[in-house]
Amino acid sequence: LFLPSLTLGLSSIASVARYMRASILEVINEDYLRTARAKGLQENIVIYKHALRNALLPILTLMGLMIPNIFSGAVIVESIFAWPGLGSLAIQAVNERNYPVIMGINLMFAVLIFFGSVIADVSYAFADPRIRYE
C-alpha cells in the first residue's frame, strides 16, 4: 500500500510545491506585506498569516483540478501493481470495445472534474475572507 500511495502522491506534491513557491515569490513583495513588516510583526506571522493566505488561491485551483488526476493516476497504478479496480476495468473495456463501460467511466471523470472545481471554488471563501458567496 505504501508504493502505490507514493507513486500517486509524489507527482502531485512536486507540482504543488513548485506552484506554491512561485505564488509565494509573486506575493512576497506586495505593499501590504511591507506594511506588516514595518508595523513590527514577526516574519513568521507575515508569511503564514498574510502572504500564505493570498498565495493559497491559485494552489486551491490547482488542487481542485488535481482530483481527477489522482483517479486517472490510479489507472496506471492499478496496471503496474496488478490491482483490480476502475483502472483495470477501463483498460479491459477499451480492449474489449465495451462502449457503455467506457462512457460510464468518462462520465465519472467528468463528474469528478466538476466536483473538483466546485470544491476549489467553495474553499476560496475559507482561504480568503474577501470572497463571499450569497
**Residue 70 predicted with pLDDT over 90:** no
**24 Cβ partners below 8 Å, 6+ apart?**
47, 51, 52, 55
In a domain, 134, yes or no: no
Q: How many domains are contained in the chain? A: 1
**Residue 97 predicted with pLDDT over 80:** yes
CA 41, CA 63: separation in Å to the nearest integer? Answer: 30
Residues 117-124 have a mean pLDDT of 86
Helix (H, G, I), strand (E, B) or coil at 30: coil
In a domain, 96, yes or no: yes
Residue 60: which domain range?
2-127
In a domain, 48, yes or no: yes
Going by C-alpha positions, the residue among 116, 88, 86 that lies closest to residue 104 is 86
In a domain, 133, yes or no: no
pLDDT band at 93 (very low <50, low <70, confident <90, very high): very high
pLDDT number for residue 57: 87
In a domain, 40, yes or no: yes
Please name the helix (run of DSSP H) or strand (run of DSSP E) that holds residue 59, with its range, or none. helix 52-81
Residues 25-44 have a mean pLDDT of 90
Residues 75-88 have a mean pLDDT of 84
In a domain, 75, yes or no: yes
What pTM value is reported for the model?
Answer: 0.72
In a domain, 62, yes or no: yes
